[in-house]
Amino acid sequence: MKRKSFKGYAYLAPVLVIMLVFTAYPLVKAIFMSFCENYSIINGSHKGINLENYKDLFEDKLFIRALGNTTLYVAFVVPLSVVISLVIANLLNSNIKFQGLFQTLYFLPYVTSVIAIGVVWRWIMNSNYGLLNYILGFFGIGPIGWLSDPKYSMTSLIIFAVWKSLAFNIMIFLAALQGISPDLYAAARVDATPRLRVFFKITVPAMMPIIAYAFIMGIISAFKVYNEVFSLFNSKAGPVNNEAITIVYYIYDQFYNNYKYGIAAAGSVVLFLLIMLFTMIQRLPGRIKAKKEAAQK
């Protein structure tokens, strides 16, 4: 028995070592750094252990702006992405012409570099010769400074992020749709049930677990947004007038540009706690339901 256990641990050892080195250690180190006043990344020296970094962090108006922008980003991007992806996946799952071609086109953003996509979107949103303003011109709408006007910064970021996140959600929704029993849809056709009613009474309830998963993964990913901001605005000084700065971009800016390692670490800890909190909230209904079912048995 001991021999078998040793063999199992031996197989797990490489993964455990990687997790300890690249996940556990950085997390513990970041938490430690967040309490160190005037931490030096070169020799690890610091003035003392206190809450000064957290005090400075929450007194920084730029961090409050980043926190608000990230919350706004999550509130819009995640629901829009899930709803649009669910509708598109449902259409792709039906018998339409060139179904394989459409599935490939929608999957392309998932396997393409965010930076490369961002370059394309910077051209699309260019205020002078961008494709988006060209299309809006047909409807009598004048040029909009999507990337140059600060008040449109978050709108531009949200549009780009929703489009980019569609691919992954469509992929998992398609897989879930193909797992729904065809007998349910056959019974609905026999009863001449309207398509919209079928969608909300059969498709959506059957896919609730995967929809909840998409929400959880979307929220975690949205809180960690950085590549989208960098690829769209691509400025070392920060996004346009900091109107689209997010928590991760703020952490990056404090660490690599301002050399405020303790504040950057404190920001990382706050981000970690936010993600953990929202993950627990998302999982709470499932746990309550499981406890009720267990109590009934």
Q: Is the pLDDT of residue 212 over 90?
A: no
Position with higher pLDDT, 152 vs 293 = 152
The alpha carbon of 199 is separated from its chain's Cα centroid by a whole number of angstroms, namely: 26
Q: What is the pLDDT of residue 239?
A: 58
Report if residue 243 sits inside a domain: yes
Report if residue 197 sits inside a domain: yes
Half-sphere exposure in the Cβ direction for 79 (13 Å, CA): 5
User: Which residues face 37 on adjacent strands?
Assistant: 48
CATH code for the domain in which residue 156 is found:
1.10.3720.10
Residues 99 and 138: beta-carbon distance below 8 Å: no
Report if residue 52 sits inside a domain: no
Q: What is the pLDDT of residue 35?
A: 93
Q: What is the pLDDT of residue 55?
A: 94
Position with higher pLDDT, 99 vs 136 = 136
Report if residue 7 sits inside a domain: no
Q: What is the pLDDT of residue 10?
A: 82
Q: Is the pLDDT of residue 191 over 90?
A: no
Q: What is the pLDDT of residue 237?
A: 46
Report if residue 222 sits inside a domain: yes
State the DSSP H helix or E strand holding residue 36, giving kind and residue range, or none if neither.
strand 36-37
Range of the domain at 212: 63-296
What's the number of domains the chain is made of? 1
List, for residues 120-145, the tens digit of each pLDDT value. Answer: 888 898 888 888 998 988 888 888 88
Token pair recorded at residue 54: 């957290």
List, for residues 216-269, the tens digit of each pLDDT value. Answer: 889 888 999 988 888 888 654 445 567 888 999 999 989 988 889 999 999 999
